[in-house]
Chains A and B, each alone.
Chain A
């Protein structure tokens, strides 16, 4: 069955610093992420979910344990670019994601550095335009614009446009909706679903919002103090929480959202 697993982690930990100052950000965690699955990593700030996401992205290395990607150790290929061709990310803060000294368009074009065979300049322009249209932005609208000239929602869509260019197998979405307004949030979730359908991607969704995780994921991992304290399908986790941490996360959802709409109905309504 291993061939259907995108990621497989066995007892991985990540410790920062050493000696007395050592901080264990991720503590002896094991899991398996299937192909084309949407996983949500849910937990409060500082629970280790971002560090775990960075390990999947090969931006951090596990201190202990083994992390497999497509059945091979994540560091098996010497050149990390091979990994980033297949595993990409969108980050939380759209404003700090781009270098303020270069135009947005040039930064989108920088994604083509990852391509093994770089397309011709004309084709690069063409594909950037297509990616922008895919996230509903008129390509001419951002010509010559710098990151600080766009709104947060637009910037977050720029990050998604990158993904439409790169077409990775796996997308790590680290709180992509936490810093944009409610309206942009809905559209960003729509784009994520569109990406999943079009590219049949595996998505790892990092969030502190268990309500959001409920609607988008196939499986929810609850993290607390570096450990995965509970994992399972959204219905099980939200309806029959086993761990105190999960119960507390559910408590924290504002009352207006407390009534759970059946997921199929909610997804249908959103379409």
Chain B
């Protein structure tokens, strides 16, 4: 608890948290404050921001604020889902390998490193473009989660390996705990703060990755995401035409989410890993 209290005294953590909660608030409460309509044309294409449509309209004449709030919700959904998948898969593999050690650990480490050197983006692009139909937001999130778990695995493995030599683990063994029980009860709780930090990082990475592939035109078919708004702007000549409201706000939102998560992560690392504190 002391650590958590300490966390709330760090300005950068509070700043990151405020930014992140702000974007979350926009995603959750936006639809209550703003009439969301992403299917009807409310005006001419690329109407400049003004009264009624604060951020103008897109290439089809759809209200930009509606698009952004919907896109933000989609991006956060992808981020959390992919973050959870990557963290759970990576943590289990990392903790298990680190605890077991020996040949099994070697095999898992080699597998992790193999996944690590496979360029995630290229795999994602290949997978996405091979699935013309049925490329849903959830599927994209799962693909991102399943290709980025290596970071969690590596981060957690080292911690787990250092815990396995502790006496309380030896005591659990001679109490008859099974390996799985030891991993879940004796090792994982000690890593929770660490796993949480990894989760934040994985979420930020997933949001950025989704934005990247959506911008390349390989995003979900069934929903609007921030990356998809960027792609629409790109393919419909918003950049050349100087229609800044079609892409700048979406860019800012993606940046703000990722930035706030990175700031939170860095502040937490400083608290949970005292050696980094100055």
Residues of A within 8 A of B (CB): 54, 57, 59, 81, 84, 88-89, 91-93, 96-102, 110-111, 113-114
B170 touches A59 (CB 8 A): yes
CB < 8 Å neighbour of A59 from B174, B186, B189: B174
Cα–Cα, bound, A222→B186 (Å): 34
B40 to chain A: which residues have CB within 8 Å? none
Contact of B176 among A59, A81, A89, A102 (CB under 8 A): A81
Query: Which of A57, A93, A111, A113 contacts B167, CB < 8 Å?
Result: A93
Chain A, residue nearest B181 (CB): A113
Q: Which of B167, B189, B190 contacts A97 (CB under 8 A)?
A: B167
Q: Is B177 an interface residue (CB 8 A)?
A: yes
Name B178-224 residues within 8 Å CB distance of A: 185-186, 189-190
Q: State whether B170 touches A91 (Cβ < 8 A).
A: yes
Is B185 touching A111 in the complex (CB atoms < 8 A)?
no
Q: Is the CB of B174 within 8 A of A97?
A: no
Residues of chain A with a CB closer than 8 A to B121's CB? none
Q: Is the CB of B172 within 8 A of A89?
A: no
5 A-B pairs (CB sep. < 8 Å): A91-B171, A97-B167, A99-B185, A100-B190, A110-B172
A97-B171 in contact (CB<8A): yes
The interface residues of chain B lying within 8 Å CB-to-CB of A81 are 176
Residues in B neighbouring A98, C-beta threshold 8 A: 168, 171
CB contacts (< 8 Å) of B186 on chain A: these are 99
Q: How large is the interface on B (under 10, 10 to 19, 20 to 34, 35 or more residues)?
A: 10 to 19
Q: Give the 5 A-B residue pairs with the shortest CB-CB distance, closest first.
A: A101-B189, A91-B167, A81-B176, A97-B167, A114-B176
- What are the residues of chain B within 8 A of A113 when measuring CB–CB? 175-177
Best-surrounded residue of A89, A99, A111 (most CB of chain B within 10 A): A99
Q: Is B173 an interface residue (CB 8 A)?
A: yes
Q: A97-B167, A114-B176 are in contact. List 19 more A-B contacts (CB 8 A).
A: A54-B170, A59-B174, A84-B174, A84-B175, A84-B176, A89-B170, A89-B171, A89-B174, A91-B167, A92-B167, A93-B167, A96-B166, A96-B168, A97-B171, A98-B171, A99-B186, A102-B185, A110-B177, A114-B175
Contact of A57 among B168, B174, B189, B190 (CB under 8 A): B174
B interface, CB within 8 angstroms of A: 166-168, 170-177, 185-186, 189-190
Partner of B175, one of A91, A100, A110: A110
Q: Which of B170, B176, B190 has the most CB of A within 10 A?
A: B176
The CA of A93 and the CA of B172, in the complex, are separated in Å by 15
Q: Chain B residues near A97 (CB, 8 Å)?
A: 167-168, 171
CA distance A93 to B171 in the complex (A): 12
Q: Is B189 in contact with A111, judged by CB distance below 8 angstroms? A: no
- Assess the A59–B173 pair: CB atoms within 8 A: yes
**Smallest CB gap from A172: residue in B:** B174
Most buried by A among B167, B185, B190: B167
Q: Which residues of B contact A114 (CB under 8 A)?
A: 175-176
Residues of A within 8 A of B175 (CB): 84, 110-111, 113-114
Report B132 CB to chain A, min CB distance, Å.
49
Chain A residue at minimum C-beta to C-beta distance from B174: A84
CA distance A81 to B189 in the complex (A): 24
| B167 partner residues in chain A, CB cutoff 8 A | 91-93, 96-97
- Tell me which residues across on chain A come within 8 A of B173, comparing CB atoms: 59
Asked whether A99 lies within 8 Å of B177 as measured between CB atoms, the reply is no
Taken together as a complex, chains A and B put the C-alpha atoms of A100 and B1 apart, in Å, by 13
**In the complex, which residues of chain A have a beta carbon less than 8 angstroms from the beta carbon of B176?**
81, 84, 113-114
Q: A93 to B170, alpha carbons, bound, how many Å?
A: 12
For A147, the closest partner residue in chain B by CB is: B168
Task: Give the Cβ gap from A94 to chain B, nearest Cβ, in Å.
Answer: 9
Give complex CA distance A89, B169 in Å: 13
Instruction: Give the interface centre of B171, B173, B185, B190 by most chain A CB atoms within 10 Å.
Output: B171
Residue of B nearest to A102 (CB): B185
B177 neighbours in A (Cβ, 8 Å):
110, 113
Question: For B185, what are the chain A residues with a Cβ–Cβ distance below 8 Å?
Answer: 99, 102
Separation in Å of the A39 CB from the closest CB of chain B?
A: 19
